[in-house]
Structure 1
Amino acid sequence: MIRPVAYTGYLVGGVLVGAPLSAGLLILGTLGAALTPVLVGLPLLGLLALSGIPVGVLERWRAGRLDRPAVRDRDPGDERGHAPVDPHRTPAEPGLGPWARLRFTEQATWRELAYTVRLAFVLWPLDLLVLAAVFALPGALLTAPAQLALSGDETRVAKLWLVDGYPQASLIAAVGLLLLLALLWPLTLYARARAALARVLLAPRDTEVRLTEVTESRARLVAAFEAERRRIERDLHDGAQQRLVALSMRLGLARLDAPSELADRLAEAHREADEALGEIRELIHGIHPQVLADYGLGDAIADAADRSAVPVEVDVELPRFTEAVESAAYFAVREALANVARHSGAGRAWISAGCATGDRRGRRLWIEVRDDGRGGAAPSGGGPRGTGGCGGRAGSGLTGLADRLAVLDGTLAVDSPPGGPTVLRMEIPC
């Protein structure tokens, strides 16, 4: 008997939620449409579009409660009874603006709105109709003795049967009980179908769940990769580099006291130690340059331009970003400049960068690398071998650069007509 009571409560809750919801949606829709010409209605229409979000939370919770097994039947490892997973993603930035932009672009928001409209104008009237069909007649029959007691001599039950004695009233009440028990089964079937519809429309799609899991795991991998790169940098800086510095100093001191026949050999060893120290420093700079960590992406790009074999003009003013974004953007610029020097035949290059806001995709870092080379670059083998501003061998350089950006959901756009110039535009969500 516990489960039919739960299913009945679920339908009663649908009526209690849906009836005021229909009035609220009608008021919001009417006012929003009427006031749209004076722009006042636009926030109301936006609120109407987002009204499905709280309704979705409530309906997922109600569906989860409906599926919960009875306490005496519950298995300790049974996962039923938990509300479906929230289909919404967490905004990358705090604040109402990023939250609203993300919600308006999610499919889950519009599925919840579609369910809310169905609940307000279709589902709750059906719930009420089913409840009335199940309980109206059996309820009238069950209360036959009470109706007779209130009327005194006789009463007409359900406006169908005239009852003038308690034996007859008790028999009608028994018939009402049997009818009620018989009708609880179709009520249960309807309530289960109704809850299943809510789960189908409000729970996240399998593809959305997988996409969220892939995105989160990719973010964890990026963070782990950056942490490991910083650890290797520290180990080289504090370990191998310091040992080479100490070795170079000892060799220098040994040359002062060494006999002439050993001085030349010590000098050669000293030069090799200095060269190894220089290579270690370049390696450390390539793993994670200190200027990037201390001063940010703008100064790091300027430093990379100074080290480029091709003269580069830089027009970059950027705020600080997360470590993963700054690292990916810096090494993408380094790779682009390396390809310019190797393959473009360019005499000069230009770098500009900025941060785009207000786009439906959110805040994005963009960087453009342009050269005056011979062009013909293609991301995936579309250009001639060894040509183009950054093309590399049949585009392999650009493919690697695009893969580096894709780790952070970034994009690479290439404009490289034959004869040049080549323009690379990189964008990374930030």
Structure 2
Amino acid sequence: MTRSPAAFLTSAAPWRSLAYLATSVLLGLVSLVVLGGLVVSGLLLSVLGIGLAVLAGAVLLGIPLAALERRRLRLLDGPHADRPGSPHGPVTRPGLWPWLTTRLREPATWREFGYAVVFTVLLPLVDLVLLAVVVLLFALIAAPAYVAVDSTQPEALVLTGVGIAGLPVAAYVLGAAAAVQSWFVRLMLSPREGEQSDRVVELTRSRARMADAFEAERRRIERDLHDGAQQHLVALVMTLGLAELEFRTADQEAGKGGELVSRARREAKQALDELRDLIRGIHPQVLTDHGIAAAVSEIAVRCRVPVSVDMDLTGRLPAQIEATAYFFVSEALTNVVKHSGAAAASVHGRLTAGRLAVTVADDGVGGAGLRDGGGLQGLADRVAVVDGRLTLSSPAGGPTALSLEIPCQPSHSVSSSPRTRRSSAKGSPSC
């Protein structure tokens, strides 16, 4: 409504407002019948001892009505607009009785009941008057025009002109009424400060526990692979090497047994190399010892696509932040190698104003996007654990830039980690 009159009147806003107010009338009348019936029944049945249960049901009727009202706000703001969340907290125990007692003790339930009373008694009357005015305007437009045509009385068209002139005013009145009603919905039905604090705190703690459990499981897997499977493979390679040497000493290198031993040794060595790459990809030792700048430079050296690295970090970051940033760069460069067809890539990182910003860019074909179950979606979920934000720019034809922002603070300086690392490398295909 704050736009120019032409833009407002030619938009869908007046029609959205009309639909919102019309559905308010219908929903209000239905709610009036149901809520009024429950209240009257509760008062009449109070002499039998069950009236309080019926009245409690009338109070709880505000909960589904409020949920529907929060959804109906999208009639005004569009299907993709944000709507207020539920102000109710979680029910800690299963069953109907715990749910009833929890809801009846919440201030939000009584606030929603108060809104239900106002919505069923007052708002439908106001909306009905406004809709009647709109119907009258359309009648002024249509009926005099019909009379003028039917009876050849052109003076009847004066009323048609009045109706047409009144439509823009009615559009603004409808828009203002819908805006006021939506403001009242948000005022009464949105979560208040502190109502969801326990839930938010518990969700935050749960997310932190999941992140800690993931890190603990990652360290366990890394330790088991390093101390278990890797050591066995090292012993196997050494044993096969000694067996191969014995064959050659006995001048049997041309025999079938010597060839099988040599092949087994090569396969065991390849499996050992792959296992070492796997351990390095889970959490490289260089990340623990020297930080994210050195770890990213190591990824660049091992990547099949030439990668230039510019990481300007003056100190070490929290371990979880470094692990997330490393995972981000590793996955981003893996996507560059597999899907982009790029000839070169770059990694740019800065720590400014308590935020770590890392961007991985390439000159490939572009067209990347977030898809359910895709690698970028999993990467976004991993970043969300540390309150990070992922931004993707990948138009068709390229270039592609994937950016990460994480709020963090450096912990301490590390002299062995260079302040700025710049490298360009083309290495093995284990990116």
Q: TM-score, normalised by structure 1?
A: 0.47
Q: Which has the higher contact order (CA 8 A, sep 6+)?
A: 2
Rg: which structure is higher?
1
